[in-house]
Amino acid sequence: MNNLKNLRGTVDLLPDQLIKWQNVEKIVLEQLARASIKEIRTPILEMTELFIRGIGEGTDVVSKEMYTFLDRGERSCTLRPEGTASVARALIQNGMSSNPLQKLWYMGPMFRYERPQAGRQRQFHQLGVEFIGYESVRSDIEIIALAWDILGKLGIKELNLEINTLGDLDDRLNYQKSFLKWLEKNINYLDLDSQNRINKNPLRILDSKNIQTKKILENAPKLVDFLSEKSHERYSDLKKQLDVLKIPYVENFNLVRGLDYYTHTAFEITSGALGSQATVCGGGRYDDLIKQMGGPNTPAIGFAIGLERLILLAGKDLEVPRTTDIYIINQGLIAELLAMDLSRKLRNYDLLVELDISGASFSKQFKKANKLKSKSIIIIGDDEAAKNEFVIRRFDQSGNGDNEEVISFENDIKLKRWLNNNLLAK
Ligand code: HAM
Protein backbone atom coordinates (compact mmCIF):
# COMPACT_ATOMS: atom_id res chain seq x y z
CA MET A 1 0.00 0.00 0.00
CA ASN A 2 3.07 2.25 0.04
CA ASN A 3 2.69 5.53 -1.83
CA LEU A 4 -0.87 4.90 -2.96
CA LYS A 5 -2.47 8.29 -3.35
CA ASN A 6 -5.60 9.78 -4.81
CA LEU A 7 -5.38 11.24 -8.32
CA ARG A 8 -4.25 14.85 -8.73
CA GLY A 9 -7.20 17.22 -8.66
CA THR A 10 -9.41 14.87 -6.65
CA VAL A 11 -9.97 15.17 -2.90
CA ASP A 12 -11.09 13.05 0.02
CA LEU A 13 -13.84 14.66 2.03
CA LEU A 14 -13.36 13.63 5.65
CA PRO A 15 -16.06 13.35 8.33
CA ASP A 16 -15.35 16.71 9.98
CA GLN A 17 -15.45 18.54 6.63
CA LEU A 18 -18.63 16.76 5.62
CA ILE A 19 -20.58 18.28 8.50
CA LYS A 20 -20.57 21.56 6.60
CA TRP A 21 -21.35 19.84 3.29
CA GLN A 22 -24.33 18.08 4.84
CA ASN A 23 -25.64 21.24 6.51
CA VAL A 24 -25.32 23.16 3.24
CA GLU A 25 -26.95 20.36 1.23
CA LYS A 26 -29.83 20.19 3.70
CA ILE A 27 -30.63 23.89 3.29
CA VAL A 28 -30.27 23.65 -0.50
CA LEU A 29 -32.55 20.60 -0.74
CA GLU A 30 -35.19 22.29 1.41
CA GLN A 31 -35.16 25.32 -0.90
CA LEU A 32 -35.53 23.09 -3.95
CA ALA A 33 -38.40 21.15 -2.39
CA ARG A 34 -40.18 24.40 -1.46
CA ALA A 35 -39.93 25.48 -5.10
CA SER A 36 -41.44 22.14 -6.14
CA ILE A 37 -38.41 21.06 -8.15
CA LYS A 38 -37.95 17.32 -8.65
CA GLU A 39 -34.72 15.35 -8.60
CA ILE A 40 -33.27 13.53 -11.60
CA ARG A 41 -30.26 11.17 -11.47
CA THR A 42 -28.37 10.30 -14.62
CA PRO A 43 -25.29 8.09 -15.00
CA ILE A 44 -21.87 9.57 -14.26
CA LEU A 45 -20.53 7.74 -17.30
CA GLU A 46 -21.95 8.55 -20.74
CA MET A 47 -21.10 7.99 -24.38
CA THR A 48 -18.49 10.54 -25.43
CA GLU A 49 -20.61 11.58 -28.38
CA LEU A 50 -23.23 13.02 -26.03
CA PHE A 51 -20.88 15.75 -24.85
CA ILE A 52 -19.34 16.38 -28.26
CA ARG A 53 -22.78 16.99 -29.71
CA GLY A 54 -24.29 18.59 -26.62
CA ILE A 55 -21.54 20.93 -25.40
CA GLY A 56 -19.72 21.52 -28.72
CA GLU A 57 -16.47 20.25 -30.16
CA GLY A 58 -14.73 23.63 -30.10
CA THR A 59 -15.27 24.26 -26.38
CA ASP A 60 -12.41 23.90 -23.90
CA VAL A 61 -14.45 21.38 -21.94
CA VAL A 62 -14.77 18.99 -24.90
CA SER A 63 -11.49 19.66 -26.70
CA LYS A 64 -9.13 19.52 -23.71
CA GLU A 65 -10.82 18.66 -20.46
CA MET A 66 -12.76 15.43 -20.81
CA TYR A 67 -11.91 12.18 -19.06
CA THR A 68 -12.44 9.90 -22.05
CA PHE A 69 -11.49 6.25 -22.48
CA LEU A 70 -12.45 3.11 -24.37
CA ASP A 71 -14.34 0.52 -22.35
CA ARG A 72 -13.86 -3.22 -22.79
CA GLY A 73 -16.34 -3.17 -25.66
CA GLU A 74 -14.22 -0.50 -27.45
CA ARG A 75 -16.91 2.15 -26.89
CA SER A 76 -15.71 5.67 -26.21
CA CYS A 77 -16.98 6.69 -22.77
CA THR A 78 -16.62 9.95 -20.83
CA LEU A 79 -16.99 10.85 -17.18
CA ARG A 80 -19.58 13.63 -17.29
CA PRO A 81 -18.03 17.11 -17.28
CA GLU A 82 -21.44 18.72 -16.57
CA GLY A 83 -25.08 17.74 -16.19
CA THR A 84 -27.17 19.61 -18.77
CA ALA A 85 -26.39 17.39 -21.76
CA SER A 86 -27.11 14.26 -19.71
CA VAL A 87 -30.46 15.61 -18.50
CA ALA A 88 -31.41 16.49 -22.09
CA ARG A 89 -30.47 12.99 -23.25
CA ALA A 90 -32.37 11.31 -20.42
CA LEU A 91 -35.52 13.30 -21.16
CA ILE A 92 -35.43 12.58 -24.88
CA GLN A 93 -34.71 8.90 -24.29
CA ASN A 94 -37.49 8.50 -21.73
CA GLY A 95 -40.12 10.21 -23.87
CA MET A 96 -40.92 13.83 -23.19
CA SER A 97 -44.38 14.10 -24.70
CA SER A 98 -46.24 13.00 -21.56
CA ASN A 99 -44.45 15.62 -19.49
CA PRO A 100 -43.32 18.57 -21.62
CA LEU A 101 -42.87 20.97 -18.67
CA GLN A 102 -40.44 19.88 -15.99
CA LYS A 103 -38.46 21.54 -13.22
CA LEU A 104 -35.52 19.32 -12.29
CA TRP A 105 -32.44 19.30 -10.08
CA TYR A 106 -29.38 17.05 -9.75
CA MET A 107 -26.38 16.98 -7.50
CA GLY A 108 -23.18 15.01 -7.86
CA PRO A 109 -19.61 14.73 -9.09
CA MET A 110 -18.42 16.13 -12.43
CA PHE A 111 -15.01 15.62 -14.04
CA ARG A 112 -12.84 18.05 -15.98
CA TYR A 113 -9.15 17.62 -16.68
CA GLU A 114 -8.18 21.15 -15.70
CA ARG A 115 -5.07 22.44 -13.98
CA PRO A 116 -5.90 21.99 -10.29
CA GLN A 117 -5.73 25.13 -8.14
CA ALA A 118 -7.70 26.74 -5.33
CA GLY A 119 -11.38 26.40 -6.24
CA ARG A 120 -10.67 24.22 -9.26
CA GLN A 121 -10.56 20.44 -9.15
CA ARG A 122 -10.64 17.59 -11.63
CA GLN A 123 -13.43 15.91 -9.73
CA PHE A 124 -15.77 18.54 -8.35
CA HIS A 125 -19.44 18.67 -7.46
CA GLN A 126 -22.33 20.60 -8.88
CA LEU A 127 -25.90 21.28 -7.94
CA GLY A 128 -27.74 21.80 -11.22
CA VAL A 129 -31.29 22.97 -11.89
CA GLU A 130 -32.95 22.71 -15.30
CA PHE A 131 -36.37 24.10 -16.30
CA ILE A 132 -37.43 22.13 -19.37
CA GLY A 133 -40.09 23.29 -21.84
CA TYR A 134 -40.34 26.83 -20.45
CA GLU A 135 -39.98 29.64 -22.93
CA SER A 136 -41.14 32.86 -21.29
CA VAL A 137 -38.91 35.37 -19.53
CA ARG A 138 -40.69 34.38 -16.32
CA SER A 139 -38.73 31.11 -16.34
CA ASP A 140 -35.45 33.03 -16.73
CA ILE A 141 -36.45 35.12 -13.76
CA GLU A 142 -37.51 32.17 -11.63
CA ILE A 143 -34.22 30.40 -12.39
CA ILE A 144 -32.09 33.43 -11.54
CA ALA A 145 -34.14 34.19 -8.40
CA LEU A 146 -33.83 30.57 -7.30
CA ALA A 147 -30.03 30.60 -7.61
CA TRP A 148 -29.89 33.98 -5.88
CA ASP A 149 -32.13 32.81 -3.02
CA ILE A 150 -30.24 29.54 -2.47
CA LEU A 151 -27.06 31.57 -2.00
CA GLY A 152 -28.97 34.05 0.19
CA LYS A 153 -30.42 31.27 2.39
CA LEU A 154 -26.86 30.15 3.09
CA GLY A 155 -26.09 33.65 4.32
CA ILE A 156 -23.63 34.36 1.52
CA LYS A 157 -23.13 38.07 0.99
CA GLU A 158 -21.26 40.25 -1.49
CA LEU A 159 -22.46 38.35 -4.52
CA ASN A 160 -22.53 39.84 -7.99
CA LEU A 161 -24.95 38.76 -10.65
CA GLU A 162 -23.74 39.36 -14.20
CA ILE A 163 -26.12 38.96 -17.09
CA ASN A 164 -25.89 39.04 -20.86
CA THR A 165 -27.89 37.95 -23.85
CA LEU A 166 -26.50 35.82 -26.63
CA GLY A 167 -29.57 36.25 -28.85
CA ASP A 168 -30.82 33.39 -31.00
CA LEU A 169 -28.88 31.43 -33.59
CA ASP A 170 -29.50 33.95 -36.40
CA ASP A 171 -28.45 36.88 -34.23
CA ARG A 172 -25.25 35.08 -33.40
CA LEU A 173 -24.44 34.10 -36.96
CA ASN A 174 -24.89 37.71 -38.06
CA TYR A 175 -22.68 38.91 -35.28
CA GLN A 176 -20.06 36.25 -35.86
CA LYS A 177 -19.58 37.38 -39.49
CA SER A 178 -18.75 40.91 -38.52
CA PHE A 179 -16.77 39.89 -35.42
CA LEU A 180 -14.63 37.55 -37.54
CA LYS A 181 -13.84 40.38 -39.94
CA TRP A 182 -12.79 42.55 -37.02
CA LEU A 183 -10.72 39.68 -35.53
CA GLU A 184 -8.84 39.17 -38.80
CA LYS A 185 -7.89 42.83 -38.83
CA ASN A 186 -6.78 42.75 -35.20
CA ILE A 187 -5.30 39.28 -34.99
CA ASN A 188 -1.79 40.49 -34.20
CA TYR A 189 -2.92 42.32 -31.09
CA LEU A 190 -4.58 39.28 -29.56
CA ASP A 191 -2.99 36.87 -27.08
CA LEU A 192 -1.99 33.44 -28.40
CA ASP A 193 -4.91 31.62 -26.80
CA SER A 194 -7.37 33.98 -28.45
CA GLN A 195 -5.59 33.68 -31.82
CA ASN A 196 -6.03 29.91 -31.61
CA ARG A 197 -9.71 30.33 -30.90
CA ILE A 198 -10.49 32.30 -34.07
CA ASN A 199 -11.20 29.17 -36.10
CA LYS A 200 -12.47 26.96 -33.31
CA ASN A 201 -14.71 29.12 -31.15
CA PRO A 202 -14.38 32.85 -31.87
CA LEU A 203 -17.09 33.98 -29.45
CA ARG A 204 -15.05 32.65 -26.52
CA ILE A 205 -12.42 35.29 -27.30
CA LEU A 206 -14.86 37.78 -25.77
CA ASP A 207 -14.35 35.98 -22.48
CA SER A 208 -10.55 36.34 -22.55
CA LYS A 209 -8.90 37.25 -19.26
CA ASN A 210 -5.79 38.62 -21.03
CA ILE A 211 -5.53 42.31 -20.16
CA GLN A 212 -4.28 43.48 -23.57
CA THR A 213 -6.89 41.43 -25.42
CA LYS A 214 -9.59 42.77 -23.13
CA LYS A 215 -8.51 46.32 -23.91
CA ILE A 216 -8.59 45.76 -27.67
CA LEU A 217 -11.95 44.03 -27.45
CA GLU A 218 -13.47 47.27 -26.18
CA ASN A 219 -13.48 48.40 -29.81
CA ALA A 220 -14.88 45.17 -31.23
CA PRO A 221 -18.46 44.98 -32.53
CA LYS A 222 -20.92 44.14 -29.75
CA LEU A 223 -23.39 41.26 -29.94
CA VAL A 224 -26.22 43.41 -28.51
CA ASP A 225 -26.07 45.55 -31.64
CA PHE A 226 -26.89 42.51 -33.76
CA LEU A 227 -29.93 41.33 -31.85
CA SER A 228 -33.29 41.08 -33.59
CA GLU A 229 -36.06 43.23 -32.18
CA LYS A 230 -37.60 40.18 -30.52
CA SER A 231 -34.35 39.22 -28.80
CA HIS A 232 -33.92 42.82 -27.68
CA GLU A 233 -37.37 42.91 -26.19
CA ARG A 234 -36.77 39.66 -24.38
CA TYR A 235 -33.59 41.01 -22.85
CA SER A 236 -35.26 44.29 -21.79
CA ASP A 237 -38.08 42.32 -20.16
CA LEU A 238 -35.55 40.27 -18.25
CA LYS A 239 -33.89 43.39 -16.87
CA LYS A 240 -37.21 45.00 -15.99
CA GLN A 241 -38.39 41.96 -14.08
CA LEU A 242 -35.10 41.65 -12.20
CA ASP A 243 -35.58 45.30 -11.18
CA VAL A 244 -39.09 44.55 -9.94
CA LEU A 245 -37.76 41.68 -7.81
CA LYS A 246 -34.94 43.95 -6.58
CA ILE A 247 -32.28 41.47 -7.65
CA PRO A 248 -29.24 43.62 -8.44
CA TYR A 249 -27.31 42.81 -11.63
CA VAL A 250 -24.52 44.10 -13.81
CA GLU A 251 -24.58 43.76 -17.58
CA ASN A 252 -21.49 42.12 -19.00
CA PHE A 253 -21.57 42.05 -22.79
CA ASN A 254 -18.50 39.82 -22.85
CA LEU A 255 -20.13 37.07 -20.83
CA VAL A 256 -20.43 34.23 -23.35
CA ARG A 257 -19.98 31.15 -21.08
CA GLY A 258 -17.85 28.17 -21.99
CA LEU A 259 -20.45 25.82 -23.43
CA ASP A 260 -21.87 26.11 -26.95
CA TYR A 261 -25.51 25.44 -26.22
CA TYR A 262 -26.52 28.83 -24.84
CA THR A 263 -29.10 31.14 -26.45
CA HIS A 264 -30.52 34.43 -25.15
CA THR A 265 -29.97 34.76 -21.39
CA ALA A 266 -26.56 33.89 -19.94
CA PHE A 267 -25.65 34.67 -16.35
CA GLU A 268 -23.02 34.12 -13.69
CA ILE A 269 -22.91 34.80 -9.98
CA THR A 270 -19.48 35.62 -8.61
CA SER A 271 -18.02 36.42 -5.23
CA GLY A 272 -14.95 38.53 -4.50
CA ALA A 273 -14.26 36.21 -1.55
CA LEU A 274 -13.35 33.36 -3.93
CA GLY A 275 -10.19 34.84 -5.46
CA SER A 276 -9.36 33.98 -9.06
CA GLN A 277 -12.00 31.24 -9.47
CA ALA A 278 -14.77 33.62 -8.51
CA THR A 279 -17.77 32.10 -10.25
CA VAL A 280 -19.96 30.12 -7.90
CA CYS A 281 -22.94 29.76 -10.27
CA GLY A 282 -23.26 29.78 -14.04
CA GLY A 283 -26.25 29.24 -16.25
CA GLY A 284 -28.38 30.29 -19.13
CA ARG A 285 -30.99 29.41 -21.70
CA TYR A 286 -30.46 26.60 -24.20
CA ASP A 287 -33.49 26.62 -26.49
CA ASP A 288 -31.91 24.61 -29.33
CA LEU A 289 -30.07 21.87 -27.43
CA ILE A 290 -32.84 19.29 -27.05
CA LYS A 291 -33.84 19.60 -30.71
CA GLN A 292 -30.20 19.40 -31.82
CA MET A 293 -29.85 16.20 -29.85
CA GLY A 294 -32.77 14.61 -31.65
CA GLY A 295 -35.64 15.56 -29.35
CA PRO A 296 -38.67 17.76 -29.92
CA ASN A 297 -38.31 21.52 -30.13
CA THR A 298 -38.03 22.33 -26.40
CA PRO A 299 -36.90 25.61 -24.89
CA ALA A 300 -35.07 25.31 -21.59
CA ILE A 301 -32.99 27.19 -19.05
CA GLY A 302 -30.84 26.18 -16.08
CA PHE A 303 -27.84 26.80 -13.89
CA ALA A 304 -25.21 24.92 -11.95
CA ILE A 305 -23.58 25.88 -8.66
CA GLY A 306 -20.10 24.59 -7.88
CA LEU A 307 -20.43 22.98 -4.47
CA GLU A 308 -16.75 23.28 -3.46
CA ARG A 309 -16.96 27.04 -4.04
CA LEU A 310 -20.33 27.20 -2.28
CA ILE A 311 -18.87 25.46 0.78
CA LEU A 312 -15.99 27.95 0.86
CA LEU A 313 -18.48 30.82 0.89
CA ALA A 314 -20.98 29.41 3.38
CA GLY A 315 -20.68 30.62 6.99
CA LYS A 316 -18.74 29.02 9.83
CA ASP A 317 -21.99 28.37 11.73
CA LEU A 318 -22.64 25.56 9.24
CA GLU A 319 -19.49 23.75 10.39
CA VAL A 320 -21.13 22.87 13.70
CA PRO A 321 -22.44 19.31 14.01
CA ARG A 322 -25.76 18.50 15.62
CA THR A 323 -25.19 17.93 19.34
CA THR A 324 -25.73 14.54 20.87
CA ASP A 325 -29.04 14.41 22.73
CA ILE A 326 -28.36 11.30 24.77
CA TYR A 327 -25.14 9.41 25.45
CA ILE A 328 -25.74 5.88 26.72
CA ILE A 329 -23.10 4.75 29.20
CA ASN A 330 -23.28 1.01 29.79
CA GLN A 331 -21.30 -1.90 31.11
CA GLY A 332 -21.97 -5.59 31.78
CA LEU A 333 -23.39 -8.32 29.56
CA ILE A 334 -27.08 -7.76 30.22
CA ALA A 335 -26.68 -3.98 30.47
CA GLU A 336 -25.10 -3.87 27.00
CA LEU A 337 -28.04 -5.71 25.46
CA LEU A 338 -30.58 -3.51 27.22
CA ALA A 339 -28.65 -0.41 26.12
CA MET A 340 -28.71 -1.54 22.50
CA ASP A 341 -32.46 -2.04 22.65
CA LEU A 342 -33.04 1.33 24.33
CA SER A 343 -30.90 3.20 21.78
CA ARG A 344 -33.10 1.89 18.95
CA LYS A 345 -36.25 2.97 20.78
CA LEU A 346 -34.87 6.47 21.46
CA ARG A 347 -33.80 7.06 17.87
CA ASN A 348 -37.45 6.70 16.86
CA TYR A 349 -38.04 10.02 18.66
CA ASP A 350 -35.62 11.71 16.22
CA LEU A 351 -33.05 12.09 18.96
CA LEU A 352 -29.33 11.92 18.28
CA VAL A 353 -28.36 8.97 20.45
CA GLU A 354 -24.81 7.75 20.86
CA LEU A 355 -24.49 4.26 22.24
CA ASP A 356 -21.07 3.62 23.73
CA ILE A 357 -19.91 0.23 22.46
CA SER A 358 -16.27 0.68 23.44
CA GLY A 359 -16.45 -1.58 26.50
CA ALA A 360 -14.34 1.04 28.30
CA SER A 361 -14.62 1.88 31.98
CA PHE A 362 -17.50 4.00 33.27
CA SER A 363 -15.21 6.96 33.84
CA LYS A 364 -13.89 6.84 30.26
CA GLN A 365 -17.45 6.69 28.95
CA PHE A 366 -18.38 9.71 31.09
CA LYS A 367 -15.41 11.59 29.68
CA LYS A 368 -16.53 10.81 26.13
CA ALA A 369 -20.06 12.06 26.86
CA ASN A 370 -18.52 15.18 28.29
CA LYS A 371 -16.30 15.71 25.26
CA LEU A 372 -19.30 15.43 22.97
CA LYS A 373 -21.21 17.94 25.12
CA SER A 374 -24.11 15.51 25.17
CA LYS A 375 -27.30 17.14 26.46
CA SER A 376 -28.14 14.14 28.62
CA ILE A 377 -26.86 10.72 29.63
CA ILE A 378 -28.30 7.34 30.41
CA ILE A 379 -26.44 5.00 32.73
CA ILE A 380 -26.95 1.24 32.74
CA GLY A 381 -24.67 -0.87 34.90
CA ASP A 382 -25.08 -4.33 36.47
CA ASP A 383 -27.23 -2.94 39.30
CA GLU A 384 -29.63 -1.17 36.96
CA ALA A 385 -29.75 -4.17 34.61
CA ALA A 386 -30.62 -6.48 37.50
CA LYS A 387 -33.59 -4.24 38.36
CA ASN A 388 -34.53 -3.83 34.67
CA GLU A 389 -34.19 -0.05 34.87
CA PHE A 390 -31.89 2.77 33.79
CA VAL A 391 -30.85 6.17 35.10
CA ILE A 392 -31.37 9.21 32.90
CA ARG A 393 -30.32 12.76 33.69
CA ARG A 394 -29.54 16.05 32.05
CA PHE A 395 -25.86 16.52 31.69
CA ASP A 396 -23.72 19.56 32.17
CA GLN A 397 -20.10 19.95 31.38
CA SER A 398 -19.00 19.70 34.99
CA GLY A 399 -20.06 16.06 34.79
CA ASN A 400 -23.05 16.69 37.09
CA GLY A 401 -26.60 17.05 35.99
CA ASP A 402 -30.13 17.42 37.10
CA ASN A 403 -33.61 16.08 36.55
CA GLU A 404 -32.35 12.62 37.27
CA GLU A 405 -34.87 9.84 37.14
CA VAL A 406 -34.80 6.09 37.38
CA ILE A 407 -37.04 4.58 34.71
CA SER A 408 -38.03 1.00 34.13
CA PHE A 409 -37.35 -0.35 30.63
CA GLU A 410 -41.07 -1.07 30.26
CA ASN A 411 -42.26 2.35 31.35
CA ASP A 412 -42.53 4.16 28.00
CA ILE A 413 -44.92 6.76 29.42
CA LYS A 414 -42.44 7.90 32.07
CA LEU A 415 -39.63 7.90 29.50
CA LYS A 416 -41.67 9.97 27.04
CA ARG A 417 -42.57 12.45 29.79
CA TRP A 418 -38.90 12.88 30.71
CA LEU A 419 -37.90 13.33 27.06
CA ASN A 420 -40.69 15.85 26.50
CA ASN A 421 -39.71 17.89 29.53
CA ASN A 422 -35.97 17.80 28.91
CA LEU A 423 -35.17 17.29 25.23
CA LEU A 424 -38.06 17.20 22.79
CA ALA A 425 -39.88 20.36 23.82
CA LYS A 426 -36.71 22.48 23.71
P1 HAM B 1 -20.22 25.81 -15.82
O2 HAM B 1 -20.11 27.31 -15.79
O3 HAM B 1 -19.29 25.09 -16.69
O4 HAM B 1 -21.72 25.50 -16.22
O5 HAM B 1 -20.09 25.26 -14.35
C6 HAM B 1 -20.91 25.73 -13.30
C7 HAM B 1 -20.12 25.92 -12.01
O8 HAM B 1 -19.44 24.71 -11.68
C9 HAM B 1 -19.03 26.95 -12.09
O10 HAM B 1 -19.54 28.24 -11.92
C11 HAM B 1 -18.14 26.54 -10.92
O12 HAM B 1 -18.68 27.02 -9.70
C13 HAM B 1 -18.26 25.03 -10.95
N14 HAM B 1 -17.07 24.44 -11.60
C15 HAM B 1 -16.84 24.29 -12.91
N16 HAM B 1 -15.64 23.70 -13.12
C17 HAM B 1 -15.11 23.48 -11.91
C18 HAM B 1 -13.89 22.90 -11.44
N19 HAM B 1 -12.97 22.40 -12.28
N20 HAM B 1 -13.66 22.85 -10.09
C21 HAM B 1 -14.57 23.33 -9.24
N22 HAM B 1 -15.75 23.89 -9.61
C23 HAM B 1 -16.01 23.97 -10.93
C24 HAM B 1 -22.22 24.24 -16.41
O25 HAM B 1 -21.68 23.24 -16.07
C26 HAM B 1 -23.61 24.23 -17.01
N27 HAM B 1 -24.05 22.84 -17.14
C28 HAM B 1 -24.57 25.05 -16.17
C29 HAM B 1 -25.95 25.07 -16.74
C30 HAM B 1 -27.00 24.30 -16.36
N31 HAM B 1 -26.34 25.81 -17.77
C32 HAM B 1 -27.63 25.54 -18.04
N33 HAM B 1 -28.02 24.63 -17.20
Instruction: Render pLDDT for 40-97 as a digit per residue (tens, 0 to 9).
Output: 999 999 999 999 999 999 899 999 999 999 999 999 999 999 999 999 999 999 998 7
Cβ partners under 8 Å of residue 310, min gap 6: 24, 127, 151, 154, 156, 280
HEC letters along 221-289? CCHHHHCCHHHHHHHHHHHHHHHHCCCCCEECCCCCCCCCCCEEEEEEEEEHHHCCCCEEEEEEECCCH
Q: What is the DSSP letter of 44?
A: S
Question: 399 falls in which pLDDT band (50, 70, 90)?
Answer: low
Q: Which of 61, 124, 127, 290 to mutate to test the pocket of ligand 1 (most atoms within 8 A of CB)?
A: 124
Whole-number Å distance, alpha carbon 288 to ligand 1 midpoint, is 20
Q: Is the CB of 284 under 6 A from ligand 1?
A: yes
Query: What is the atom index within ligand 1 of the atom nearest the CA of 126?
Result: 8
Q: Is the CB of 267 under 6 A from ligand 1?
A: no
The number of residues in the chain equals: 426
Query: What is the atom index within ligand 1 of the atom nearest the CA of 130?
Result: 33
The residues that bridge with 387 in the sheet, in sequence order, are none
Q: What is the pLDDT of residue 242?
A: 98
Averaged pLDDT for residues 227-233: 96
Q: Which of 130, 279, 311 to mutate to test the pocket of ligand 1 (most atoms within 8 A of CB)?
A: 279
What is this structure's pTM?
Answer: 0.93
Instruction: Render pLDDT for 352-379 as a digit per residue (tens, 0 to 9).
Output: 999 999 999 999 999 999 999 999 999 9
From residue 117, give the alpha-carbon distance in Å to each of 8, 33, 65, 113, 294. 10, 33, 15, 12, 37
Instruction: Render pLDDT for 66-76 as a digit per residue (tens, 0 to 9).
Output: 999 999 999 99
